[in-house]
Amino acid sequence: MDITEIARMAGVSRSTVSRYLNDGYVSTEKREAIKRVIEETGYTPSQQAKTLRTGKTDVIGVILPKINSASVSRIVGGITSVLNDRGYRLLLANTNNNGSAEVDYLRLFSEGNEVDGIILIATYFDDAHLKAMANLSVPIVIIDQELGGYSCVYQDDYHALLDLTQIVLRHAEHPAYVGVLEKDVSAGHNRRQGFLDACAKAGVEVPERACELADFTVDSGYEATERLLDAYPELDAVVCATDSIAYGAMTCLHEFGHAVPDEVQVCGVGDSDLSQIVTPTLTTVHFFYWTSGTEAARMLLERIADRTTVARQLRMGYEVRVRNSTL
């Protein structure tokens, strides 16, 4: 079944069917006839043929660092809610936090008319990333990192940790911090700097032994907290760069006999579903990840529609959700 057969059955020309399929002008009578034949036959236009005719694939490539991340799933949910309504399909590329894989997907999506645009949920940028993005033939929008010259939707990580730490410092004199690698500017550098600046403003000294690194897992949070207890036993608060790290910290403190929050306060970032289920419930930062996804999708569609090269950047707000893991 092809459009020639559809045209014969509907009693119209082949060009009329083509205009109908591409949202061109067709009279109401002929439009109804074509629609009736398509519904009766179950005809589906060839996507490849449509791409050749219009130069559009109706596909958006989404490159993400970790598909089972709570924050990433919310972002993708927001992206999907917008793009589905506009008739786009998503092509998801999960890199498992592999920077080389991100670069490979940037190149792949840009070659051979694979997608109409790209959304990159970013963790860091190196020279290979920057070169690949500079060579893109399709628009790109970045989520969760700020990068000059590119359209971005990102979180206010610095002020979020500044505010979160100030809450903890009301009842803490020896705060510790478990962060992630600084090459992740948003979650690594900016969150750590927010913690340190809040402590400095309160006149609280933070020795080097009071800071540890982890990855984005519960196990890593547990291990980092265990190292802190050895190196900085006087700690009375653990500020964590993510909720997952905080869950590990709470587990470690419990197993070593430290009551949360009476002896040691704990807080995290992300407001994942578990934050309201764990005991005690976790004080955390709520970022509007779903809305970040919807805003990024709309931003990308605007760039696809008018081919503008003007970069637009949006810094999202946040809320500190104070619960039972802090005093």
Question: What are the structural domain ranges in the chain?
Answer: 3-45, 59-155+289-317, 157-287
pLDDT in tens, 93-103: 999 999 999 99
pLDDT in tens, 67-111: 989 999 999 999 999 999 999 999 999 999 999 999 999 999 988
Q: Is 267 strand, coil or helix?
A: strand
Buried b (16+ CB within 10 A) or exposed e, 20-45: bbeeeebeeebbebbeebbeeeebeb
What's the mean per-residue pLDDT of the chain? 93
Q: Is 284 strand, coil or helix?
A: strand
Question: Does 52 score more than 60 pLDDT?
Answer: no
66 close to 96: Cβ distance less than 8 angstroms: yes
pLDDT in tens, 144-171: 999 999 999 999 999 999 999 999 999 9
Q: What would the CATH number be for the domain defined by 157-287?
A: 3.40.50.2300
Q: What average pLDDT does the segment 224-228 reach?
A: 98
Question: Does 114 score more than 60 pLDDT?
Answer: yes
Q: pTM of the prediction?
A: 0.85
Helices (H), 42-120: 47-54, 70-85, 99-110
Class of domain 59-155+289-317: alpha beta
What is the rounded CA–CA span in Å between residue 294 and residue 286? 17
Q: Is 7 strand, coil or helix?
A: helix
- 59-155+289-317 shares its CATH topology with 157-287: yes
- Please provide residue 181's backbone torsions phi and psi, each rounded to the nearest 5 degrees: -55, 140
Q: Is 264 strand, coil or helix?
A: coil
Residue 154 burial (10 A CB sphere; 0-12, 13-18, 19+)? buried
